[in-house]
Structure 1
């Protein structure tokens, strides 16, 4: 592998870990160092950093927050109804 590619992998821990988990990239980078941009895209997809993945994660978190708000609201309604019953 070319020294500049090795240096890039040593400087970027995430790329290094991605290549370790996907050994086929060792061969790809050794044969054609110009695939570094493809490596970056694949690593971003692997780590969930693409725009669609971020949007999906945000929607999921928002849905969870809305569900929690509904549960809290229902809990307050139940407490209010219980208090009215005993009054």
Structure 2
């Protein structure tokens, strides 16, 4: 792997962990360092950090909060 690519990966713990769990990415980056952006996107998808995934998680949390509030309101009555 090129030293510049290695430094970028080493500085970002999420990418470092992803490569440790998916060693094929080490080979991909060794052969083509331009795939770093693809690695970042794949890592974000794996860890659930893309915008649609975050919105879905926020939506689920709001639904859970609403349900808990409804349950707390019915418990008082």
User: Does the TM-score normalized on the shorter chain lie above 0.5?
Assistant: yes
- In 2, the alpha carbon distance for the partners of 1:12 and 1:75 equals 47
After TM superposition, give the deviation of residue 9 of structure 1 in Å: 1.4
The size of the alignment, in residue pairs, is 77
- In 2, the alpha carbon distance for the partners of 1:30 and 1:54 equals 31
- In 2, the alpha carbon distance for the partners of 1:13 and 1:58 equals 24
- In 1, the alpha carbon distance for the partners of 2:43 and 2:63 equals 27
Please list every run of 5 or more consecutive structure 1 residues that lacks an aligned counterpart in the other structure: 78-87
Please list every run of 5 or more consecutive structure 2 residues that lacks an aligned counterpart in the other structure: none
After TM superposition, give the deviation of residue 6 of structure 1 in Å: 1.1
Q: Relative contact order, CA 8 A, sep 6+: which one is greater?
A: 2
- What do you get for the CA RMSD once the two structures are aligned? 0.7
Moved over 4 A (4+): none
Aligned match of 2:3: 3
* TM-score, structure 2 as length reference: 0.95
- In 1, the alpha carbon distance for the partners of 2:62 and 2:10 equals 37
